[in-house]
Each structure stands twice: as C-alpha cells, then as structure tokens.
Amino acid sequence: MRSLKYLWVLSISAFSCIGVDIVEEEMFETELRIVTEVEALKVGETTTLSILYFNETGEQVVVSPIWTSTDSDILDVSNDGLVTAVSMGSAYIKASFENLTDSVMIAAGDETVLTETSRKGTFKGRNNYTVAGDFTLAPNNDGDLVLSFGSNFTASNGPGLFVYLSNSDNSVSGGIELGALKSNSGEQSYTLPMGTELNSYDFVIIYCKPFGVPFGYGKFEE
Amino acid sequence: MKRVAVIVLVLISVAPTFAGGGWTQEKGKSYWKLGQYFIIANNYYTPSGDIVDITTTGFYSTSIYGEYGISSKLTAIINLPFLVRGTLNRLERPDGTLIEEGDELTSFGDVDLALKYGLFKKGPYVGSVSLTLGLPLGNPSGGRTQLLQTGDGEFNQMITFDVSRSFGKGNVYASALMGFNNRTENFSDEFRYGVEFGAKVKGFWLINRIYGVQSFNNGDDTIIVNNSIFSNNIEYLSYSPEIAYDINDKFGVSVGAGFAFSGRRVLADPAYSAGIYLKL
C-alpha cells in the first residue's frame, strides 16, 4: 500500500487537458488593387473595373472607392467603375479609398485586348521540407477559377497539410483556405471560392494547419 | 526502451535509455519501474534544424518498464506504455474567437519487447547485445483530426551493443551504446548512440546521459502513410540528467529531464520524467 502514494504519476497522463494558444494576427500594409479584364478597349465599348481592398489583417474587405480618369475625353469612368472608351488614345483610371490609390492605364483604340486570364508559378520548399512543381490559376469552362498543380508536383508528407492562397509567402493570415492537400504528388486541382479574383493573392502556400508550419510556397509570376 | 517517446512525437528521451547499460540481471532477479513521461512543446526543429513556433502539443506517457533475469546472461525486457495521451491546443484570436479547435487522443502505446544477452564480463567491464522488437500496438492516427498518435504503426527491430564499466566500489559507472534500428513501412532506419555517467553521492544517483539518433534517410517521406513527418527521418542529440534515490533496498524514485542540443523533425522543448522503481 505504501507505493500507492506514487500513483500520482498516472494522473498526469489521464487528466492532462487541451490548452489554448492565443494567435496574434499578422499585420499587413493596407492595399488597394484595381482588377481589369482589358488592356485596351474598343472605342464605344465599355468594361467594368473592380477593386480588391485588403485591411490590416490581410483580409479582403468590400469597399466603395472613388473612380476618376486622367482624361475623360478618352476614357470616361462612372462612380461604380464602368469605363467607356470615348475616343482614341490612352488614359489612367484611378481608384481611391481613404489614403490608398491604385491606377491602371487602358488604351482606347480599334479593338478590345483582354488581359491575361491565367497565372502560374513554381513551388519552393521551406525549412528543408520538399515542396516542388508548377501550378496555374485559370478559369475552367464554367467560369470558376481553378488552381491546378502540375504532374511534377511533390510535397513532403506531413500532418494536416492544406492549400492556401495568401499575400504572404510565410503566413496564411488573411489568406483563404482551398482545402486539404489531396495528394503529396501529381496533378490535382482546387476550385476557388466565388468572389476571388485572379489577382487577389500573390502566393500559394502548402501549410501544416494543425501545427501552424508552412512547408512551402509558390509566388505567382508577374 | 523509449521508442514510443522517440518515434511517436519525436520526443527527447529522458527515461533509462540505457536500460542497465552492459549489465544483465542476475537469474531470477528483476527491476520494475512505473514511470511518467511528458513534454509540452510549442517549438519544433524543422528538417533544416531551425527552430520554429508550432501549435502547442502535449505528449504524456505512463508506462511500466521491467527487466527479468532469465539466466545470468539473458535478461528479458518489456516497456509497456499502457496510458498514452496526446493533445493539441485550441487556437484563438486575442478577442477569444476560435481559429481552430484543439484535439486529444488517449490510448495504449507501442510496446517494446527485448532480450539482452551478456557478451562478456571481465573485471569491471561488461558488455551485452540486445534485440528490441517494437510492437505497433499504439494508435498511429487518432483524435478529431486523425493527426495525433500514440504509436507509429510500424514494426521495428533494433540491435544494440552496450559496454559498461564500474569504478571503485561500484558507486561510479560509465556506459556507452550504439545501435541500429531497422524500421518498416517506408520509415528510415536509424543509428543510435550514447554515453552515460553515473555516480552515487550521499544516497543519490546522479546520472548524465548524452543520446543521439541519426537517420539513414533511406525511407520515403513523400509516400502517404498514416504517420506524420514527425515520425520519420528524425534526428537529435540530447542531454538528459536524472536523479535517482534508493528509499530502501527495494524501492527508489527518480526524476529526469531531457534537452535537445540540436535536432531535425523533433520537438525542441524539454521533456520531463518521474518514476518509482522496485528491485526484486
């Protein structure tokens, strides 16, 4: 019976509890980006510009900017971003929100020229984890944006690996989760949620979600 | 004997890794230890050897370790982690909103069975060889996330050579070991090595261990298995001091800690152990 008093050792395994980790939000520079589907617009036609606004925590937030044109005789823009090519030439369309401004130059001419409709990049490993291969982001036949990994994709095995889009190469704060990594190698694809634009995020991250460790990332080429 | 601790969540061994060094039990004699081991870590050695922050994870193992002298040269050894628990902390923002639920798993652990054979006994020197079989009786994938483990799901076989020497009246000793751990299921094999020094001072055994694990990196960590990267290609070099006190001829207690100097794919926080042992 004397040894029973030492059975306290059992209590550590039996009654250890789940603790709480407080995660400080990573702070980002606020950012405003104009999204355009055209590089040039045929005189007489219109296109609607939109904006992406990211707050201090990197989250995308819907805001209403002020739209202006540097030459409304060439490109006219309405309060909701509808651009009309009035005459031949080129001009900058500006969007302003609080102290942020972004602008794009659009030509007005004989034909409409669309911007790139896809983006691509290549993975790199972090912390000596293997993450390699190519990826592309492009709309599918239904118009949904789809992130596709190439057949050369490979990643170290890890617990709870997820795919994220982010504006940081080392953090998923403010980014969006596309789902659990489907396979550690080979082709696979992830459909982006509605409302996500082609240029919303600059990085794809392979992230060990339960332990909070990035295994690798890829930057979209400019 | 600390296979569960080392493999399951790459914990730094703080228990009697040397399992008696080169000495075997006398025929009919035995040694039993009820031990508790735990580590709570939010630092992790990445494969490149850098330390990064991770979600706090806990690992707790209550085990019975035993040695029994089948003959003066042959000792049977068992390590039975009968209550093993892993936890993963809940993640919250500073305002208390939930980011990710925590997780927990409690089950049986992997069991080690070993035979140690005395190779020689010459003056103060003794040497032995051991064959340890790691039985995958723990849970390699559990909890809500299916990410927590109390076992690695693979059957391994380890050969270990131990050499020890006592000094004076036996109140000081030194041991060294090296071993080869053959692992299955695409896990890399391992080379293990270590030295241990012990001295009895005023009734207390003061024990210092240096223990290392080096991976042969001949597994494949891109193959999807239930186990995580936390259990393959691990490497570390650790220092584990321990204090043991013989309450009487039969009973004793011990406490210890383990610190990793360096590592790859291992938790980087100290591990602790305590136990009560019985010599029959």
Instruction: Determine the average pLDDT of the residues in B221-241.
Output: 67
Q: What integer pLDDT is reported at residue A1 of this predicted model?
A: 41
A29 in contact with B, Cβ within 8 Å: no
Tell me what the pLDDT averaged over chain B comes to.
84
Q: Which of A188, A203, A197, A200 is CA-nearest to residue A154?
A: A188
Between B154 and B164, the more confident residue is B164
Whether B221 and A154 lie within 8 Å, measured CB to CB = no
Between A140 and B185, the more confident residue is A140
Q: Which residue intervals of chain A bear CATH 2.60.40.200?
A: 119-220
Architecture of the domain delimited by A31-114: Sandwich (2.60)
Instruction: Determine the average pLDDT of the residues in B128-145.
Output: 88
Between A193 and B220, the more confident residue is A193
Highest mean pLDDT among A129-138, B11-20, B147-156, B177-186: A129-138
Q: What integer pLDDT is reported at residue A27 of this predicted model?
A: 80
Instruction: Determine the average pLDDT of the residues in B44-67.
Output: 89
Q: Which residues of B touch A7 (CB under 8 A)?
A: 34
Instruction: Determine the average pLDDT of the residues in A209-221.
Output: 89
Quote the percentage of chain B above a pLDDT of 70.
Answer: 89
Neighbours of A44 (CB within 10 A): 10
Total CB pairs under 8 A between chain A and B: 139
Q: What integer pLDDT is reported at residue A14 of this predicted model?
A: 63
Residue A4 has pLDDT above 70, yes or no: no
Structural domains of chain B, ranges and CATH numbers in brackets: 3-91+98-279 (2.40.160.40)
pLDDT band at B226 (very low <50, low <70, confident <90, very high): very low
Q: Which residue intervals of chain A bear CATH 2.60.40.1080?
A: 31-114
Of A79-93, A116-130, B209-223, the poorest mean pLDDT is in B209-223
Mutate to test the interface with A, among B10, B40, B59, B91 (most CBs of A within 10 A): B91
Q: What integer pLDDT is reported at residue B12 of this predicted model?
A: 41
Sign of the Cα torsion B139, B141, B146, B147 reads: positive
3-state secondary structure of B6: helix
pLDDT band at B192 (very low <50, low <70, confident <90, very high): very high
Contact B161, B132 (CB under 8 A): no
B280 in contact with A, Cβ within 8 Å: no
Measured between alpha carbons, how far is A116 from A104 in angstroms, rounded to an integer? 14
Q: What integer pLDDT is reported at residue A181 of this predicted model?
A: 93
Q: Which residues of A touch B221 (CB under 8 A)?
A: 130, 156-157
Highest mean pLDDT among A14-28, B8-22, B103-117: B103-117
What superfamily does domain A119-220 belong to in CATH?
A: Superoxide dismutase, copper/zinc binding domain (2.60.40.200)
Q: How many residues are present in chain A?
A: 222
Q: What integer pLDDT is reported at residue B6 of this predicted model?
A: 31
pLDDT in tens, B165-185: 999 888 899 999 999 998 877
Residue A44 token pair: 């007489």
Q: What integer pLDDT is reported at residue B8 of this predicted model?
A: 34
B61 in contact with A, Cβ within 8 Å: yes
Burial class (CB within 10 angstroms; exposed 0-12, middle 13-18, buried 19+) of B84: buried
Of A13-17, A164-168, B11-15, B207-211, the poorest mean pLDDT is in B11-15
Rounded to an integer, what is the distance from CA B157 to the centroid of its chain? 15
Mutate to test the interface with B, among A9, A124, A129, A173 (most CBs of B within 10 A): A9
Between A210 and B242, the more confident residue is B242
Which contiguous run of DSSP H or E holds residue B29? none
Considering the entire predicted model, what is its pTM?
0.77
Q: What integer pLDDT is reported at residue A82 of this predicted model?
A: 93
Q: What integer pLDDT is reported at residue A203 of this predicted model?
A: 95
